[in-house]
Chain A
């Protein structure tokens, strides 16, 4: 095949692979070549696993040729945020502190992806320990946004988003404690899915906040996220946050239409609580009009002010993160970058009673959001209040966030591309569902993507650098 293999979706590639029209070896080699050519500018990868990836691709090819096709991920090249443990392969957290950390076993999610036949291309850049970034004082540079290299890709799953958007892997795994899958997906123009809390095991992923951490995929399309979810979802008795719930067929749950769907728009979040940029609001209104035209019923919904969600999330996340990092911060603080050190050390100052009362308040927020969803199938709002900003000094204090409310409540949330700003950067739509109605969220995102043309545009960076390199 001579077409741009690196821009195939999983949905497209898996059909070609199954029918013998595309070789996993050829596909993996195309990605490795592209990483070699382009990642010097993008910095999406911390470690490229060229040899093992080719071995895995050859094994997949032999298995498929022998009639043992494992499913849509068989032979599909993916990347892992470098906080996913990989047996015998360094898992650094993008930090000097864990530079030489080599786990003995794969994270449960990695085991499941391997079982599904995925090919692991490498380990991807992240903000330090999924919190401290973007930073220039770490052993590896921060990933850049392929839509404009001077702009941030978002984080903390920065390399995951940059790599998928630039065609340096077909899908990637991220984690999301306060928005770390959805934010980079939004700024890099991808579909990024944070499943319901408990839907995907976190065991073997470097933790940041035990009760807020979620694992999930970043892909070019929502349909691809559904295919990834099929391999990832399922109970893990050894992850205390994992839920013993039946796993639906996510792909067949993509109904392709939203007729009769009841959409609640949390308008006060982005109009008054944290005023979004004009382009962002215009993009959201346009998306809502598309959904109305497809038959959805759109009404506004009111929750507590956004700041309530953000404050409760911050107290919980900083306390839990400090509990994890205290022994390192007090013994080898010099091994952290400045941003990571600051964000993690701050948790030392949260009083125990404040943490416990934040947890108590959390139950109120869950109850409030549950009530709001009685009359709505999904909630919608922008994923980010602004498009990807240039690299700059980070603000000293917390920034309000449209993503945290769905970490603190655990509801499933998806970010999809909803157009482009005047300066050519992706806009985003966030779709939220009821707990364990992940399939409804994915179905809505898929229908929206298929009714719009935003999946046709790829970052110009990739084309420009590719032609320069040829």
Chain B
């Protein structure tokens, strides 16, 4: 992603970041994207596990 494209995406999110900070933020975001690629690449069975993030009070 070019810096111009990155700034456009920032605007889509409603974020206004000083220009001088954009390269560092972009590097940080690209690093997060590599982390995301890791979880996307992990093989999972469709029925591997039920969702465990919602629980009714007991």
Contacts and interface: CB of A to CB of B under 8 A. Distances in A.
B39 A333 contact: no
A314 B32 contact: yes
Interface residues of B, number: 31
Given A311-B35, A349-B33, A354-B40, A342 B25 contact: yes
B17 A398 contact: no
B32 A349 contact: yes
A346 B25 contact: yes
A76 interface: no
A319 B29 CA distance: 12
Interface string A301-318: 000000110111011001
B16 interface: yes
Interface string A430-455: 00000000000000000000000000
The secondary structure that dominates the B interface is: helix
B47 interface: no
Nearest to A237: B57
Contacts of B24: 342, 396
Interface stretch (A32-40, A260-268, A357-365): A357-365
A330 B49 contact: no
Interface string B16-51: 111001011101111111111011101010001100
Given A350-B36, A351-B36, A398 B28 contact: yes
A343 interface: yes
A330 B13 contact: yes
Interface of A: 307-308, 310-312, 314-315, 318, 329-330, 333, 338, 341-343, 345-346, 348-351, 354, 357-361, 363, 396-398
16 contacts: A307-B38, A311-B35, A312-B38, A314-B32, A330-B14, A338-B18, A341-B17, A345-B25, A346-B25, A346-B29, A346-B32, A348-B10, A348-B13, A354-B36, A360-B49, A396-B28
Given A342-B28, A396-B27, 12 more contacts: A308-B38, A312-B35, A315-B39, A345-B15, A345-B25, A346-B28, A349-B9, A357-B42, A358-B35, A361-B42, A396-B28, A397-B30
Interface of B: 9-10, 13-18, 21, 23-25, 27-36, 38-40, 42, 44, 48-49, 52-53
